[in-house]
């Protein structure tokens, strides 16, 4: 698609999306029916790379703990990470906290209606900024999340080509060219709803799509081809080793540094410079039994991680007043703690206690 869509196509496209959204789109999501920029922003951050049904319970729990932007900004980041635990992509939670503090401290606790003003805040990119403007302020702005991008690529036959930057510019130009003058909220919601429920990645239901008569992919049978996926390189392999020290009632955890993929979370200690026995002694315990557990394998966006786990059943001979980074966590508190997903699964597995 080299040229901007003709006016008649633009008007027909938008009217079809709006009519479909009003009749068959989603209307009962908990972040709809509100102009509260805080709630809209929170939902948009949670929905990044995460399914709606996964997000909904987290959204409710998060708002119960932090009902306002000010409450979120005032909370310690550890509390924010606890409420985010299990949702993954923890940089989102850290940026969420930083963004709340920036808005409260530098902007009198108010998001701007201008997407360009919000796009520079921590964790807010161009599409998220547009969503805040559209749904909180009724501002005319283009949203281009993964669902919207898929609808546009198929409908207008946009090939990725060799340049990812050129493809991104072309998609943004198309998204902005198609914006209607009115009813922007219904249009924006309709585009996201279509991508999520009809124009799905693997099994699009073209017969139910209001755009099927305009769609290049539907007309030419190219649904499986579009949008073209970027060529992925083989993920590099990384390895680490951790200690699982437990007395059957508690487990020793380490608060990780604030940077990194699991920054700020609690995790099992990685001990590389001393023996397990020496480390245990420093933590006020004596190893009774040890066993090597099955390795944990976890896939990140940019690498695969294999974690070797040495379980040590210990007897506490005296809790040591050590660094704040170490914590003996009761096993019954594991489910609610801010732990990386693979570590939580390990600690919740049968046979840890006793």
Catalytic residues: 44
- Distance of alpha carbon 323 from alpha carbon 103, whole angstroms: 33
Q: What is the residue-wise DSSP string for 279-297?
A: HHHHTTEEEEEEEEEEEEE
* Beta bridge partners of residue 252, listed in sequence order: 328
d(CA 31, CA 13): 26
Pick from 155, 227, 226, 164: which is nearest to 190 by CA?
155
User: DSSP 3-state assignment of 85?
Assistant: coil
Which tokens belong to 316?
A: 């506490």
Residue 96 to residue 109: CA distance in whole angstroms: 14
Q: Where are the alpha helices (DSSP H) in 25-76?
A: 37-46, 52-65, 69-74
Helix/strand/coil for 353: coil
Neighbours of 152 (CB within 10 A): 26
Asked if residue 218 lies in contact with residue 212, where contact means CB atoms within 8 angstroms, the answer is yes
Residues in CB range of 20: below 8 A, 6 or more apart: 190, 194, 210
Which residues does 260 contact at the CB level (< 8 Å), separation at least 6?
Answer: none
Strand partners, 297: 306
Task: Please provide residue 316's backbone torsions phi and psi, each rounded to the nearest 5 degrees.
Answer: -80, 125
Non-local (6+) Cβ contacts of 112 within 8 A are: 118
What are the strands, taking DSSP E only, across the chain? 237-246, 250-255, 266-267, 285-299, 304-316, 326-330
């Amino acid at each position: 698609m080299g040229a901007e869509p003709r006016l008649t196509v633009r008007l027909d496209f938008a009217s079809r999306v709006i009519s479909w959204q009003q009749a068959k789109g989603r209307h009962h999501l908990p972040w709809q029916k509100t102009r509260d920029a805080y709630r809209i922003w929170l939902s948009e951050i949670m929905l990044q790379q995460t399914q709606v049904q996964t997000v909904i319970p987290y959204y409710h729990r998060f708002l119960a703990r932090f009902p306002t932007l000010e409450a979120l900004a005032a909370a310690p980041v550890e509390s924010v990470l606890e409420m985010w635990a299990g949702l993954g992509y923890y940089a989102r939670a850290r940026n969420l906290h930083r963004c709340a503090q920036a808005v409260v401290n530098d902007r009198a606790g108010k998001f701007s209606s201008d997407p360009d003003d919000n796009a520079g805040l921590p964790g807010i990119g161009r599409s998220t900024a547009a969503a805040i403007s559209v749904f909180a302020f009724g501002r005319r702005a283009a949203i281009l999340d993964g669902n919207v991008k898929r609808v546009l690529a198929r409908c207008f036959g946009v090939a990725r080509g060799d340049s990812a930057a050129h493809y991104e510019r072309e998609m943004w130009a198309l998204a902005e060219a198609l914006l209607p003058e009115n009813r922007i909220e219904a249009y924006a919601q309709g585009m996201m709803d279509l991508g999520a429920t009809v124009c799905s990645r693997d099994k699009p239901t073209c017969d139910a799509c209001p755009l099927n008569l305009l769609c290049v992919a539907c007309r030419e049978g190219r649904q499986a081809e579009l949008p073209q996926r970027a060529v992925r390189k083989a993920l590099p392999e990384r390895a680490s080793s951790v200690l699982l020290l437990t007395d059957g009632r508690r487990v020793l955890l380490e608060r990780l540094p604030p940077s990194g993929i699991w920054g700020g979370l609690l995790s099992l200690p990685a001990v590389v410079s001393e023996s397990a026995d020496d480390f245990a002694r420093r933590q006020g315990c004596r190893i009774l039994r040890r066993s090597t557990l099955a390795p944990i394998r976890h896939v990140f966006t940019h690498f695969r991680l294999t974690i070797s786990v040495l379980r040590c059943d210990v007897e506490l001979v005296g809790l040591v007043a050590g660094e704040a980074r170490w914590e003996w966590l009761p096993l019954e508190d594991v489910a609610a703690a801010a732990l990386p997903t693979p570590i939580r699964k390990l600690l919740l597995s049968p046979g840890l206690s006793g």
